[in-house]
Amino acid sequence: MVRGSGVVTGGSGRRNTLPGFGLTMGLTLTWLSVIILIPLVGLFLKTFELSFAEFANIVTSRRTLNALKISFGLAFAAALVNLVMGSIVVWALVRYRFPGRRIFDAIVDIPFALPTAVAGIALTSLFAQKGWLGAPLAELGIKVAFTPLGIFIAMIFIGIPFVVRTVQPVLIDLDPEIEEAAASLGANRWQTIWRVILPSLIPALLTGFALAFARAVGEYGSVIFIAGNLPNVSEIAPLLIVIRLSEFRYADATAIAVVVLVAAFLIILVVNRLQHWAQTRIPVH
């Protein structure tokens, strides 16, 4: 381990004389390994006990494939809704003044703060056939609760904060002069938004989209109550993991978990690349 006192602080070339680097770094790595890394490595080791054929068999079985399709497909669709609605919400919150703006701004974080089981039962009773929104929708012939549509709704709920909170600081910091410049050069408002503002928001928009997508793929608590949980129809992948565990089919549970986990990591990797790309781009102002 590197000696703490010998480490150079960034840029200035000044030597950092603070104590405790070796100790704190050692404790950090130890605790990180015990709580996070060893358990995650254990999951992958367990998968390697399966032959490739066994793994492929589990993952491509009809029920598993359908659960994965439902989780990934609906999560993607919900993240798209969050992308569009999140853009509208963030625009209103940053650019306009209207009654209740501060409260609406604060409640964007509710899906982060509200325990998922609470969100799950609340959404279910809201959209159940006799619920406040379920009843009028049922009259239109739309059944939400206990159908894939219910999963979709719950996934939208859980993804709301991501796009709003990643785009918000970027939109606030956007230099007003570029809009004025565009307008003075003859662009109409729509062209300014589409060609000037949107491109500078794209990295943040994509980051928010990817985070919402990753969250929805793994989401469990807020989805299972409203989902109906019918195998092959409205059964999400995380629920199938729990079912396999309760049947003591550990190999099955582990194989499905690895697929979900690797997909989530890939999405996060893309997010990191995006942020890197956004940071290294030539700044607009």
Site for another protein, residues 265 to 284, rule: CB under 8 A: 265, 267-268, 272
Q: Is 116 in the site for another protein (CB under 8 A)?
A: yes
Query: Nearer Cβ to another protein, position 62 or 102?
Result: 102
Q: Is 140 in the site for another protein (CB under 8 A)?
A: no
Per CB under 8 A, 85 contacts another protein: yes
| 108 lies in the site for another protein, by CB under 8 A | yes
**Rounded Cα distance, 90 and 166, in Å:** 10
Residues 13, 51, 113, 140: which binds another protein (CB under 8 A)? 113
- Give the separation between CA 200 and CA 171, rounded to whole angstroms: 9
Q: Which strand (E) or helix (H) includes residue 256?
A: helix 250-280
Packing angle between helix 52-59 and helix 62-95, nearest 10 degrees?
Answer: 60
Q: Is 10 in the site for another protein (CB under 8 A)?
A: yes
Question: Which is nearer to another protein, 35 or 56 (by Cβ)?
Answer: 35
Q: Measured from the CB of residue 240, what is the shortest distance to another protein in angstroms?
A: 9
Residue 228 or 238 with smaller CB distance to another protein: 238
Q: Does 46 bind another protein (CB under 8 A)?
A: yes
Q: Which amino acid is at 27?
A: L
Considering only residues 142 through 201, tell me which ones interact with another protein, judged by CB under 8 A: 153, 156-157, 160, 172, 176, 179-180, 183-184, 189
| Range 191-250, binding another protein (CB under 8 A) | 214, 217-221, 225, 238-239, 241-242, 245, 248, 250
Secondary structure of residue 61 in the 3-state scheme = coil
Q: Which stretch binds another protein (CB under 8 A): 38-46, 61-69, 199-207, 227-235?
A: 38-46
Q: Cα separation of 222 and 214, whole Å?
A: 15
- Tell the smallest beta-carbon distance from residue 190 to another protein (Å): 9
* Residues 111, 119 contacting (CB under 8 angstroms): yes
Picking from 89, 71, 96, the residue whose alpha carbon sits closest to that of residue 160 is: 89
Q: Which of 48, 56, 60, 121 binds another protein (CB under 8 A)?
A: 121
82 within 8 A of 212, measured Cβ to Cβ: yes
100 binds another protein (CB under 8 A): yes
- Which tokens hold the place of 223? 């989805």
CB of 141 to another protein, least distance (A): 19
Q: Please give the Cα distance from 15 to 9 (Å, whole number).
A: 6
| Interface segment toward another protein; rule CB under 8 A; list 21-29, 55-63, 141-149, 227-235 | 21-29
Nearby residues of 20 by Cβ (< 8 Å), 6 or more positions away? 4
Radius of gyration from C-alpha coordinates of the chain: 23
21: contact with another protein by CB under 8 A: yes
Only one of the segments 19-27, 58-66, 138-146, 200-208 lies at the binding site for another protein (rule: CB under 8 A); that segment is 19-27
Residue appearing with tokens 């059964």: 235
Structure tokens at 168: 């918000």
Residues 218, 242: contact at Cβ < 8 Å?
no
